[in-house]
Structure 1
Amino acid sequence: MTFSKPYATREALEQTIAHHAWLNEHAGSLRLPAIRTVRADGIDFASIEGRHARFTDAPAVATVLGRAHAAAWKGDLHRALLTTAHPLAHGHELPDFVSPRIAALRRHRAAGLVNAHQMTAAQSLLAASPATPVAFYKDTNLRNVLITADGPVMVDLGDLTLAPFGYDLAKLLVTLAMTYGPLPPATFTTSLACYNQPLLGAGLPPVTIGRFLGHAELHHLLTLPYLGKSGYRHPWPTVRPRPEDLT
């Protein structure tokens, strides 16, 4: 059986294929649905039997992400910069981390969703040092993770970009809290510890809880247009953990 996903443009379709190939090559521990057929306006993926992630799945997903991010850094992204698009095969690329998010925040500011203080804070969070190790972001919200009998499978590959380590895991936990309500503090600390273990094994610095919470605040601002949609019922300020509960 297959799952068919349409694409509005041929460019978006080919970009997804390029992302799929790059992840298969450089993030080998990340399980993806296989591509069965490429059509003029869509892709048929192998069907995956599973359910969307719940907060109890966060440590297992964190382990998978940590392994994939460490592998991608070791295999390819050790040469990448957060401020510069990273080339892929056949003329495709992974967009940089900073410019797409600045553009999104400016749209939110124009729409009245983000105020001047929040915009300044977000720009500070997006400041990227050339020495910052580079991972990738694939929008790991809970609906893009299917939990199967053999472990997590990642779906929806259209939004792949560069990102700092920990950023994609923060997206998972922010969206879990916005969907289900406040999470036990141990969900955050345990998930981050699981994520950091493969990084340490690769000689990478661990993601601190402070950096992780900064990523979460950035996700909060970027997901504001989706509050009340796609199951996001709880505003992040009502469900964010207290830093003192995470030490």
Structure 2
Amino acid sequence: MMRAVYVKHYADPARALAAGTHLTWLIQLDSGVRLPDLHRVTANHLILEHLDGWPFQPADLEHAAALLGRLHGTAHTRELHAAHLGRDYTSSTGLTIRRFPAGREHVLSDADPDLVNLPAALYKDCNLRNVVMTAGGPALVDFDDLTLAPFGYDLAKLVVSTAMTHGRLPADQISAALHAYNVDVDDIGTRAAECTRLQLARYAEIHHRLTARYVGRNGYQHLWPTVRPWPAPSAEPRSR
């Protein structure tokens, strides 16, 4: 019997090829994180394993955070310890992973300039719609985006996208998720790369600026300033 597949369509063949290359690299990390098998890449499609599951909910945040910590810790230990956030990185398989500032310059202009000197993890756009809950736990899907990023940055995307979809999250729930993330990062042996609560909050503000335009679309119902689970920054970053 043929196993069920999921076919993702791309109008741009370059995007299809990039997404397939991203997924192949992530699978080769052998992190133990659940990812769909990639059956084939065509000019305009990815043919992927179909994952039986259900949509991510706020109650799943802690489990998904641990998953991200495992992926980020493994990626850093096996590859990205040699990367610098301010420069493109070429992996051992020849994949070029773009530097963290690429495409974000306008929202990073007010950020700590030393941010690019932090240990390198990755960003794969872990918004809540890119997490599928299966009988075996969370699985990550959608591999269109892959860049370098500091530890905790992709977790902040999950927090912001969940709150903008479902409403304000309890502060203790976010604390538990951050703890779970750091525990799994530590388990890989990358203790120096832990994300602090202050860093998570700062990354959330960056995501807010990048995601605000989607309110009213893609399931985003709430503006981040109305659901922010901690005090607002003393001064909002200037906009362009």
Scaled by the length of structure 2, the TM-score of the pair is 0.89
1:56 aligned partner: 59
1:82 to 85, 109, 112: 85
1:214 aligned partner: 202
Deviation at 1:44, TM superposition (A): 1.1
Say whether the 8 Å CA contact 1:15–1:92 is kept in structure 2.
no
1:29 aligned partner: 32
2:181 aligned partner: 195
1:204 to 184, 191, 196: 191
Identity, % of aligned positions: 37
- When residues 160 and 84 of structure 1 are mapped into structure 2, their CA distance, relative to the original with a 3 A threshold, is same
> Aligned with 1:241: secondary structure?
coil
- When residues 130 and 185 of structure 1 are mapped into structure 2, their CA distance, relative to the original with a 3 A threshold, is closer
- Listed as ranges, the matches of 1:105-184 within 5 Å are 105=106, 122-125=108-111, 127-129=113-115, 131-184=117-170
Distance in 2 (CA, whole Å) between partners of 1:27 and 1:214 is: 30
Deviation at 1:41, TM superposition (A): 1.5
Distance in 2 (CA, whole Å) between partners of 1:208 and 1:67 is: 17
1:92 to 88, 91, 95: 95
2:235 aligned partner: none
Flag the structure with higher helix content: 1
> Aligned with 2:217: secondary structure?
coil
Say whether the 8 Å CA contact 2:24–2:38 is kept in structure 1.
no
> Aligned with 1:152: secondary structure?
strand
- When residues 78 and 97 of structure 1 are mapped into structure 2, their CA distance, relative to the original with a 3 A threshold, is same
> Aligned with 2:222: secondary structure?
coil
RMSD: 1.8
Gaps of 5+ in 2: 233-240
Distance in 1 (CA, whole Å) between partners of 2:53 and 2:68 is: 18
Say whether the 8 Å CA contact 1:18–1:89 is kept in structure 2.
no
Deviation at 1:130, TM superposition (A): 5.5
Point out the more displaced range, 46-55 or 211-220.
Answer: 46-55
- When residues 196 and 35 of structure 1 are mapped into structure 2, their CA distance, relative to the original with a 3 A threshold, is same
Q: Aligned AA for 2:136?
A: D
Gaps of 5+ in 1: 106-118
Say whether the 8 Å CA contact 1:82–1:128 is kept in structure 2.
no
